[in-house]
A and B are shown apart, each in its own frame.
Chain A
Amino acid sequence: MNVVSKIMAFLMLILSIVYCGTSVVLFTHRVDWRSKYEKVSADYKKESTDLKSKVAQLKDKIVSTNDALEAVKTSLENMTNDFKEKRDELSEANNRVTKLEAIVSSKDLKIDAKDRELSEKDQMVMDLRAKTDELKEITDTAKAERLEATTKRAEAEESLQVLKTELEKAEIKLADVTKQLEINKGIIAQLRENGIPVEEIAISGGPATPIRAQVLAVRADANLVMLSVGSQNEVKQGYRFTVYRDSEYLGKVEVEKIFPDMCSARILNDYTEKQIKEGDNASTRVY
């Protein structure tokens, strides 16, 4: 064999082995391409029909969405118009709010002023309450005083009644006394006609002729004085002596006990103005 035939034989061997290997691989990985084609074509047809139906539905949806879009556009226009109106209303409302805020601020100021006035009024009310409490206390005391006054008035009325009765009695006595006075006046007139000096006797309360004496001793704790005249000087019990110092009137004394040359006399406090001392003068009549 020449070299060319040898090379050809070797190449045939290599190529046949390659062909055999590829054939083996293809046989081991054989596939039914027809059925697969049919299956794929059926799937394709099915998917194409589905897609067509979906496209139709999408077209319908697009139409409906277009309608809805138109409606949305119209509604949007309406909403824009409404929005403009609302914006205008909002601006008006803002203006109103600013006005109201100004009013509210003024009202707040007024409220603050009113609060101050209210606090002042509260203070005044507190003061008035304190005053009313004081007035209540005063009225209570006045009521108590009124009760006391009413009781005193009742007592005074009772005493008035007593005094009226006493006055009536006194008037009766006065009537008796006036009657007795008239009788005495008649008696005095008869005595005057008979020549008896009644007036001189009545003025001194003692004898017709005046008796002069001197204070010998004074006992102030017993209201007694000793005079320098007695029964020898015709002094009698009950005679009243007027005591004086120079021309100053001191008082009166009334004779109680009589001795021959002296007598004791009690100081009449109702008629005595100054203290009587030893050496003062006394007389039954003062000229």
Chain B
Amino acid sequence: MLQQESIDQPIINKDSIYVWFMIIAVVATVIAITLNYLELTEFYLK
């Protein structure tokens, strides 16, 4: 079934962009949290 859908539909699905949005949001959040951690460890969590 799934294979059939993937064959029938184009490779770039319109909904996959939202998946990428989520991925990018997660990565950005991770980066932001990392930066906050680094700042905290630099001054206060020594």
Which interface class (under 10, 10 to 19, 20 to 34, 35 or more) fits B? 20 to 34
A34 touches B25 (CB 8 A): no
Minimum CB–CB distance for B16 against chain A, Å: 10
Q: Is the CB of B25 within 8 A of A12?
A: yes
Contact A10-B29, Cβ < 8 Å, known A30-B39, A32-B43: no
A13 and B21 contact, Cβ closer than 8 Å, known pairs A19-B28, A34-B43 = yes
Which chain B residues border A35 with CB–CB below 8 Å?
A: 43
Do the beta carbons of A23 and B43 come within 8 Å of each other? no
A16 in the interface (beta carbon within 8 A) = yes
Partner of B44, one of A9, A20, A26, A34: A34
Main secondary structure of the interface of A (DSSP, over half): helix
Determine if B39 and A20 form an interchain contact, defined as CB atoms under 8 angstroms apart: no
Q: Is the CB of A16 within 8 A of B32?
A: yes
Chain A residues with Cβ under 8 A from B44's Cβ? 34
A32 to chain B, nearest CB (A): 5
Cross-chain pair count, CB within 8 angstroms: 62
Q: Which residues of A contact B33 (CB under 8 A)?
A: 23
Known: A17-B28, A22-B32. A9 touches B43 (CB 8 A): no
Complex contacts, A10 vs chain B, CB 8 Å = 18, 21
Residue of B24, B25, B32 near A23 (CB, 8 A) is B32
State which of A1, A19, A27, A34 has its C-beta within 8 Å of the C-beta of B29. A19
Any chain B CB within 8 A of the CB of A268? no
Q: Which residues of B contact A163 (CB under 8 A)?
A: none
Q: Which B residues are CB-close (under 8 A) to A125?
A: none
- A166: min CB distance to chain B, Å: 171
Given contacts A26-B39, A27-B39, is CB(A9)–CB(B22) below 8 Å? yes
**Contact across chains for B21 and A23 when beta carbons are under 8 A apart:** no
Binding site for A on B (CB under 8 A): 15, 18-19, 21-22, 24-26, 28-29, 31-33, 35-36, 38-39, 42-44
Q: Considering the complex of A and B, which 8 residue pairs feature the smallest CB-CB distances, nearest first?
A: A16-B25, A23-B32, A20-B28, A16-B28, A13-B21, A27-B35, A9-B18, A20-B32
Q: Beyond the given A1-B18, A19-B28, could you list 9 further A-B residue pairs with CB under 8 A, ordered by the A residue number?
A: A9-B19, A10-B21, A13-B22, A16-B32, A19-B32, A20-B32, A23-B32, A24-B35, A26-B39
